[in-house]
Every structure is written in structure tokens, then in C-alpha cells.
């Protein structure tokens, strides 16, 4: 009887994509730690932190479309690339990043502004990571690759 070889998702995913997701995870965890510290020290209200993370999560899900995921038959890997729609979303995302401080400054000043920006960025990275991971799993499932 032949043993079934265990397959893992990383062997079917482009190394650059894995590296990007790991970098997002590391930065997101650091920023989440800072946000939690700010909440525990009383600089920032937990409701603002949760609200910022949720708004950022939504933005991250939209921003995850910057990179279009697809299957490359030559390399047998899930790859990502920026297409026309991704370029438009990237431009909108960059506008959001560069103007968020201006608009948030209308309601929040000082240390809470910094914490709000960190929670927005944390949520954005979380949404982006989760949406990208979901896309990878969807492609692999379509190809009947069990991971």
C-alpha cells in the first residue's frame, strides 16, 4: 500500500508571496503589541482601538486585491502580480495612507492619533493577510490540492 505524501501550502506558493505575508504578520504583531500597550496604559480607549482595527480590516480586505493571485502552470505555484485593477486599488490605497492623518486629526490629536493610526494599520495588514490566505486556499482547492 502506498503512503499518501503530506502536502503543505508553502510548497505551492511563490516565495516572494510567502515572504510578504510573513513580513505583514511580523509588523502587524508588533503594531498590535503597541496598540495593546497604549490601551493598557490608558492613552487610548479600547473602543477606538477596536474601531480602528475593524475599519482597517475592511480596508485591508479591499487592498488585498492589489495583488492578483493566480496559478502558474510552468512553476506549479500560486503567484501574485499587479494588474490594471490592482494598480487603481494601489493608487487609492496610497491616497488613503497619506491622507488618513489629515482626516483623523479633525477628531483626534496627540498620542491617541498615533494609536488610532497604528490600529488602522494593524487592521489593514490583518485584513490583507487573511484575504490573501483565503485566495491562496481557494486556488489550491480549485486545483484539488489538499493542504
Burial class (CB in 10 A: 0-12, 13-18, 19+), 59: buried
Check residue 127 and give its pLDDT. Answer: 94
Check residue 6 and give its pLDDT. Answer: 54
- Whether 2 shows a pLDDT value over 80: the answer reads no
Note whether 71 and 78 are within 8 A (CB): yes
Note whether 21 and 88 are within 8 A (CB): no
Note whether 6 and 71 are within 8 A (CB): no
The arithmetic mean of pLDDT across residues 31-47, rounded, is 89
- Whether 5 shows a pLDDT value over 60: the answer reads no
Name all contacts of 1-7 with Cβ < 8 Å and 24+ positions apart. 7/145, 7/146, 7/147
The arithmetic mean of pLDDT across residues 92-117, rounded, is 83
- What one-character DSSP code corresponds to residue 127? H
Query: How much of the chain exceeds pLDDT 70, in percent?
Result: 93
Domain range list for the chain: 11-142
- Whether 90 shows a pLDDT value over 50: the answer reads yes
Amino acid at each position: 500500500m502506498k503512503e499518501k505524501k503530506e502536502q503543505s501550502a508553502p510548497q505551492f506558493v511563490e516565495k516572494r508571496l510567502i515572504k510578504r505575508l510573513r513580513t505583514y504578520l511580523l509588523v502587524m504583531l508588533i503594531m498590535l503589541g503597541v496598540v495593546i500597550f497604549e490601551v493598557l496604559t490608558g492613552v487610548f480607549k479600547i473602543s477606538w482601538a477596536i474601531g480602528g482595527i475593524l475599519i482597517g480590516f475592511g480596508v485591508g480586505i479591499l487592498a488585498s486585491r492589489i495583488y492578483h493571485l493566480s496559478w502558474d502552470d510552468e512553476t506549479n505555484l500560486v503567484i501574485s502580480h499587479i494588474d490594471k485593477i490592482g494598480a487603481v486599488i494601489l493608487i487609492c490605497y496610497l491616497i488613503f495612507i497619506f491622507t488618513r492623518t489629515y482626516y483623523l486629526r479633525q477628531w483626534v490629536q496627540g498620542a491617541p492619533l498615533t494609536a488610532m493610526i497604528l490600529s488602522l494599520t494593524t487592521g489593514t495588514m490583518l485584513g490583507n493577510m487573511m484575504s490573501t490566505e483565503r485566495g491562496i486556499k481557494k486556488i489550491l482547492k480549485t486545483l484539488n490540492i489538499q493542504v
